[in-house]
Amino acid sequence: MSKRKEGAYNAEAMITATRIWPLFSWKECGKCRSQFRRQAGWLVKTDDSYLYGPITVCGECCKTADSAIEQMRLRVAAADLAKRFELTKEGLKRAA
Ligand SMILES: [Zn+2]
């Protein structure tokens, strides 16, 4: 069940960061876009994957879980905004 509420998502988004150490498969960092493996990184998820799916970030960009969560929070905020507005010929309009 979605916890999405009108205009209040960002404050309610539950974001978790799990430390990963990809051994064989390459992961793409959601911040610097480089591929990484055999180094520390984070798997970051929200409780509403409809709004934004899980991302991985490398340990160079995000040294702490808090900074990894902040990376995701920016994306959740942007995705939330994008869903609430649409670009029309007349400009930005609030989605019905
Ligand atoms: Zn990175």
User: Looking at the domain assignment, is residue 3 inside a domain?
Assistant: no
Q: Report yes or no on whether pTM surpasses 0.75.
A: yes
Distance 36 CA to ligand 1 centre (A): 8
Ligand 1 centroid vs 82 CA: distance in angstroms? 24
The domain total for the chain is 1
Compute the CA torsion angle 32, 58, 39, 48 (nearest 10 deg). Answer: -140
Query: For residue 8, is it within any domain?
Result: no
Give the strands of the sheet with 15-20, arranged side by side. 15-20, 41-46, 55-58
Asked if residue 44 belongs to a domain, the reply is yes
Question: Which residues hold their Cβ within 5 A of ligand 1, which is an ion?
Answer: 29, 31-32, 58, 61
Show pLDDT as tens, one digit a residue, over the chain (96 residues): 444 544 444 456 789 999 999 999 999 999 999 999 999 999 999 987 778 889 999 999 999 999 999 999 999 888 888 888 888 898 888 886
Q: Note down the domain range covering 76.
A: 13-94
Ligand 1: distance of its center to the CA of 58 in Å? Answer: 4
Check residue 50 and give its pLDDT. 78
